[in-house]
């Protein structure tokens, strides 16, 4: 992992048998926890003797059945990595107040692909909102004491230039160039895509059209990148999306409203 990743994800957690995850937490309202998992490391552990069986002990019975049903190794790895990263974020968010274990947590999928969190423990404390994303080498996950949340990670590649007309208006491109002149065009566009994807997951997950009506209103280029986006149903007040450059990736995340079960 590069220096930017280690600087943002400052804490390390290790899942048995020896899977390392990076953690970033914020106690500000609403409290949230982000986690990052390296899929290349996960792949090596899955190929090791007993590695797969040990990693799968972190899954619920329903998740294990789903995992066994995947045909393609790459999809199995991404799906497993997403569950492990998300459960790590959930438990690290709860901290000492957690009343559930990883196997008791089950992350399913809604019809629109959004993750759904359930817990089999009758004594479980309120569950947070969650979101999962993966791109190339990494899986990122988020847990937050919020009504909903969204996270997206994107690797910067030249392919973004081929689809720019599908998600970025000319005014948005100009605003990005003016505010972030030190970045390359591919980086600016990747940042915008990640921010819109995070907002869609957190706020517009029930809407079928990708990014329709989502527009960049303002961008704060301070110690942290903050994008403010207008979207259908959002009224006059734009939604805040935080973002960070992680070497050749961009990570964006957002939370929506307060969770009734906040500790």
- Shared domain for 105 and 51, answered yes or no, is yes
Question: Mind listing the pLDDT tens digit of every residue in the chain (263 residues)?
Answer: 789 999 999 999 999 999 999 999 998 889 999 999 999 999 999 999 999 999 999 999 999 999 999 999 999 999 999 999 999 999 999 887 777 889 999 999 888 888 999 998 776 678 999 999 999 999 999 999 999 999 999 999 999 999 999 999 999 999 999 999 999 999 999 999 999 999 999 988 766 666 888 999 999 987 789 999 998 887 788 999 999 999 999 999 999 876 544 44
- Residues of the domain holding 115: 3-147
- Shared domain for 11 and 138, answered yes or no, is yes
Of 262, 256, 227, give the one whose Cα is nearest residue 131: 256
224 in a structural domain: yes
Degrees to nearest 5, angle at CA 125 with 95 and 206: 100
232 in a structural domain: yes
pLDDT of residue 206: 66
Q: Is 29 helix (H, G, I), strand (E, B) or coil?
A: coil
- Shared domain for 115 and 173, answered yes or no, is no
- Shared domain for 17 and 133, answered yes or no, is yes
Report how far residue 103's alpha carbon sits from residue 258's, in angstroms, rounded to the nearest whole number: 27
- Shared domain for 136 and 215, answered yes or no, is no
- Shared domain for 87 and 133, answered yes or no, is yes
Which CATH number fits the domain that encloses residue 180? Answer: 3.90.470.20
122 in a structural domain: yes
- Shared domain for 139 and 247, answered yes or no, is no
- Shared domain for 89 and 168, answered yes or no, is no
261 in a structural domain: no
Helix, strand, coil percent values for the chain (each to nearest 5)? 35, 30, 30
- Shared domain for 176 and 127, answered yes or no, is no
How many domains does the chain contain in total? 2
- Shared domain for 133 and 181, answered yes or no, is no
- Shared domain for 213 and 246, answered yes or no, is yes
263 in a structural domain: no
163 in a structural domain: yes
DSSP 77: H
Q: Which helix (H) or strand (E) holds 149?
A: strand 146-155
- Shared domain for 184 and 115, answered yes or no, is no
Degrees to nearest 5, angle at CA 132 with 203 and 39: 155
Residue 255's DSSP bridge partners are: 149
């Amino acid at each position: 992992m590069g220096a930017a990743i280690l600087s943002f994800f400052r804490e390390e957690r290790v899942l048995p048998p020896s899977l390392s995850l990076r953690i970033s937490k914020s106690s500000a309202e609403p409290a949230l926890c982000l986690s990052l998992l390296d899929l290349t490391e996960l792949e090596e552990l899955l190929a090791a003797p007993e590695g797969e069986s040990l990693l799968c002990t972190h899954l619920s019975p329903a998740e294990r059945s789903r995992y066994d049903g995947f045909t393609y190794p790459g999809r199995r790895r991404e799906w497993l990595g997403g569950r492990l990263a998300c459960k790590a974020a959930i438990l690290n968010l709860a901290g000492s107040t957690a009343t559930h274990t990883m196997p008791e947590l089950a992350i399913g999928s809604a019809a629109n692909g959004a993750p759904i969190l359930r817990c089999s423990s009758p004594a479980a404390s309120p569950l947070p909102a969650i979101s999962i994303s993966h791109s190339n080498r990494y899986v990122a996950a988020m847990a937050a004491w919020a009504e909903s949340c969204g996270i997206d990670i994107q690797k910067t590649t030249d392919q973004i230039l081929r689809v720019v007309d599908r998600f970025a208006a000319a005014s948005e491109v100009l605003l990005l160039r003016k505010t972030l002149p030190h970045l390359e065009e591919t980086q600016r566009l990747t940042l915008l895509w990640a921010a819109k994807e995070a907002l869609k997951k957190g706020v517009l997950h029930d809407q079928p059209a990708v990014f329709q009506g989502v527009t960049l209103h303002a961008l704060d280029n301070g110690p942290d990148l903050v994008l403010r986006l207008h979207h259908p149903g959002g009224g006059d007040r734009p939604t805040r999306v935080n973002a960070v450059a992680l070497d050749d990736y961009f990570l964006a995340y957002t939370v929506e409203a307060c969770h009734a079960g906040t500790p």
